[in-house]
A = this chain, B = another copy of it.
Amino acid sequence: MENLMPVPSHIQAGEGKYRIENTFQVKVDGVISPRISAGVSRMVARLGGRTGFFFPQVFFNVADTVEGPDLVIQAAGIARMELGMDESYVLNINEDGLQLTAHTDVGVLRGIETFLQLLDADEKGYFLPAVYIRDEPRFPWRGLMIDVSRHFLPIEVIKRNLDGMAAAKMNVLHLHLSDNQGFRVECKTYPKLHELGSEGGYYTHAEIKEIVQYASDRGIRVIPEFDLPGHATSWFIGYPELASTQEEYELQHAYGIFDPTLNVTLEETYVFLDAFFKEMSTLFPDSFIHIGGDENSGRHWLANEQILAYMKANDLKDQHELQSYFNGRLLEILGKYNKQMIGWDEILQPGMPGNIVIQSWRGQESMVEAAKEGYRTILSNGYYIDLTQTTEFHYLNDPLPAGTDLSPDEEDLILGGEATMWSEIIDTETIDSRIWPRTAAIAERFWSPASVRDVDDMYRRIKVFSYQLEELGLTHLKNAPYLLRRLTRDAPIESLATLVDIIEPVKGYRRNEIRMHYTYSQMSRVVDVAIPDADKARSFRKMVSGYLEGEAKDTKLAAQILSDLKRWEGNHAQLEAIIKASPILWEIESLSADASACGKIGLEAMDYIQKGIFAPEEWAVNSWSTVYHARRPRGQAELMIVSAIEELIDFTAPDLSKNKGDNTLTGKEIAEGWKLLFDGETMEEWRGIDRKKIPKIWEVQKGTIFCSGSPEGLSGQGKNLLSVEATSYFEFAIDWKVSSGGSSGIFYFCPENDGEPLSGSNLQMQIGDGEKSSQLDQTKASGSVWGLIPASSENANPAGEWNRARILVRDNGQILHIQNDKTLVEYAPGESWFVEWEKIVAESSFKGNPSIEKPERFGHIGLEDEGSEVWFKNIKIREFK
CB contact list, A95-140 vs B, under 8 A: 121, 123, 125-126
A755: shortest Cβ distance to chain B, in Å?
45
Stretch among A53-61, A277-285, A377-385, A837-845 lining the B interface = A53-61
The verdict on A156 contacting chain B, using a C-beta distance below 8 Å, is yes
A581 to B50, CA, bound (A): 13
The verdict on A199 contacting chain B, using a C-beta distance below 8 Å, is yes
A490 to B117, CA, bound (A): 13
The verdict on A318 contacting chain B, using a C-beta distance below 8 Å, is no
The verdict on A675 contacting chain B, using a C-beta distance below 8 Å, is no
The verdict on A482 contacting chain B, using a C-beta distance below 8 Å, is yes
The verdict on A583 contacting chain B, using a C-beta distance below 8 Å, is yes
The verdict on A607 contacting chain B, using a C-beta distance below 8 Å, is no
Knowing A199-B59, A206-B206, the reply to whether A52 touches B580 (Cβ < 8 A) is no
Q: Pick the contact of A253 from B58, B477, B482, B525 — CB < 8 Å?
A: B58
The 0/1 profile, CB within 8 Å of B marked 1, for residues 348-364 of chain A is 00000000000000000
- B-chain residues with CB within 8 Å of residue A156 when the two chains form the complex: 154, 156
CB contact list, A213-256 vs B, under 8 A: 253
The verdict on A681 contacting chain B, using a C-beta distance below 8 Å, is no
Stretch among A70-78, A514-522, A654-662 lining the B interface = A514-522
- B-chain residues with CB within 8 Å of residue A521 when the two chains form the complex: 48, 54
The verdict on A582 contacting chain B, using a C-beta distance below 8 Å, is yes
Size class of A's contact patch?
35 or more
- B-chain residues with CB within 8 Å of residue A581 when the two chains form the complex: 121
B200 touches A59 (CB 8 A): yes
What is the chain B residue whose CB lies nearest that of A120?
B489
- B-chain residues with CB within 8 Å of residue A485 when the two chains form the complex: 467, 470, 477
- B-chain residues with CB within 8 Å of residue A61 when the two chains form the complex: 199-200
A104 to B477, CA, bound (A): 41
Report which residue of A45, A521, A583, A584 has the largest number of chain B beta carbons within 10 angstroms of its beta carbon.
Answer: A583
The verdict on A715 contacting chain B, using a C-beta distance below 8 Å, is no
The verdict on A664 contacting chain B, using a C-beta distance below 8 Å, is no
B489 touches A525 (CB 8 A): no
A407 to B58, CA, bound (A): 53
The verdict on A478 contacting chain B, using a C-beta distance below 8 Å, is yes
A520 to B40, CA, bound (A): 13
The verdict on A793 contacting chain B, using a C-beta distance below 8 Å, is no
Knowing A121-B489, A478-B478, the reply to whether A50 touches B524 (Cβ < 8 A) is yes
A638: shortest Cβ distance to chain B, in Å?
18
**Copies of this chain, whole number:** 2
A517 touches B54 (CB 8 A): yes
Knowing A521-B54, A583-B121, the reply to whether A470 touches B486 (Cβ < 8 A) is yes
The verdict on A481 contacting chain B, using a C-beta distance below 8 Å, is yes
- B-chain residues with CB within 8 Å of residue A199 when the two chains form the complex: 58-59, 61
A524 touches B49 (CB 8 A): yes
The verdict on A51 contacting chain B, using a C-beta distance below 8 Å, is yes
A467 touches B490 (CB 8 A): yes
- B-chain residues with CB within 8 Å of residue A584 when the two chains form the complex: 50-52
A464 touches B478 (CB 8 A): no
Q: Pick the contact of A481 from B58, B481, B518, B580 — CB < 8 Å?
A: B481
A464 to B478, CA, bound (A): 19
- B-chain residues with CB within 8 Å of residue A625 when the two chains form the complex: none
- B-chain residues with CB within 8 Å of residue A204 when the two chains form the complex: 206
- B-chain residues with CB within 8 Å of residue A49 when the two chains form the complex: 486, 522, 524
- B-chain residues with CB within 8 Å of residue A52 when the two chains form the complex: 522, 524-525, 583-584, 587
Report which residue of A121, A200, A520, A525 has the largest number of chain B beta carbons within 10 angstroms of its beta carbon.
Answer: A520
The verdict on A684 contacting chain B, using a C-beta distance below 8 Å, is no
The 0/1 profile, CB within 8 Å of B marked 1, for residues 464-508 of chain A is 100100110001011101100110011000000000000000000
A292: shortest Cβ distance to chain B, in Å?
25
A475 to B486, CA, bound (A): 14
- B-chain residues with CB within 8 Å of residue A517 when the two chains form the complex: 54
- B-chain residues with CB within 8 Å of residue A51 when the two chains form the complex: 583-584
B482 touches A479 (CB 8 A): no
A141: shortest Cβ distance to chain B, in Å?
30
What is the chain B residue whose CB lies nearest that of A586?
B125
- B-chain residues with CB within 8 Å of residue A524 when the two chains form the complex: 48-50, 52
A474: shortest Cβ distance to chain B, in Å?
9
- B-chain residues with CB within 8 Å of residue A580 when the two chains form the complex: 123
Knowing A121-B581, A156-B156, A583-B126, the reply to whether A50 touches B486 (Cβ < 8 A) is yes
- B-chain residues with CB within 8 Å of residue A54 when the two chains form the complex: 517-518, 521-522
- B-chain residues with CB within 8 Å of residue A59 when the two chains form the complex: 199-200, 520
What is the chain B residue whose CB lies nearest that of A123?
B580
What is the chain B residue whose CB lies nearest that of A34?
B200
A50 to B123, CA, bound (A): 47
What is the chain B residue whose CB lies nearest that of A524?
B49
- B-chain residues with CB within 8 Å of residue A121 when the two chains form the complex: 489, 581-583
What is the chain B residue whose CB lies nearest that of A154?
B156
A52 to B521, CA, bound (A): 9
Knowing A59-B200, A521-B54, A583-B125, the reply to whether A486 touches B464 (Cβ < 8 A) is no
B478 touches A520 (CB 8 A): no
CB contact list, A325-370 vs B, under 8 A: none
- B-chain residues with CB within 8 Å of residue A200 when the two chains form the complex: 59, 61
A723: shortest Cβ distance to chain B, in Å?
40
The 0/1 profile, CB within 8 Å of B marked 1, for residues 580-608 of chain A is 11111001000000000000000000000
CB contact list, A504-554 vs B, under 8 A: 517-518, 520-522, 524-525
CB contact list, A185-210 vs B, under 8 A: 199-200, 204, 206
- B-chain residues with CB within 8 Å of residue A478 when the two chains form the complex: 475, 478-479, 481-482
A471 touches B489 (CB 8 A): no
What is the chain B residue whose CB lies nearest that of A156?
B156
- B-chain residues with CB within 8 Å of residue A490 when the two chains form the complex: 463-464, 467
- B-chain residues with CB within 8 Å of residue A470 when the two chains form the complex: 482, 485-486
What is the chain B residue whose CB lies nearest that of A471?
B486
A59 to B196, CA, bound (A): 13
Please name the 9 residue pairs, one residue from A and one from B, whose CB atoms are nearest each other, closest first: A52-B584, A48-B522, A49-B522, A49-B524, A478-B478, A467-B490, A156-B156, A470-B482, A478-B482
Give 22 A-B contacts (CB < 8 Å), ordered by A residue.
Answer: A48-B522, A48-B524, A50-B584, A54-B518, A54-B521, A54-B522, A58-B520, A59-B520, A61-B200, A121-B583, A125-B583, A126-B583, A156-B156, A204-B206, A467-B486, A470-B486, A471-B482, A477-B481, A477-B485, A478-B479, A478-B482, A481-B481
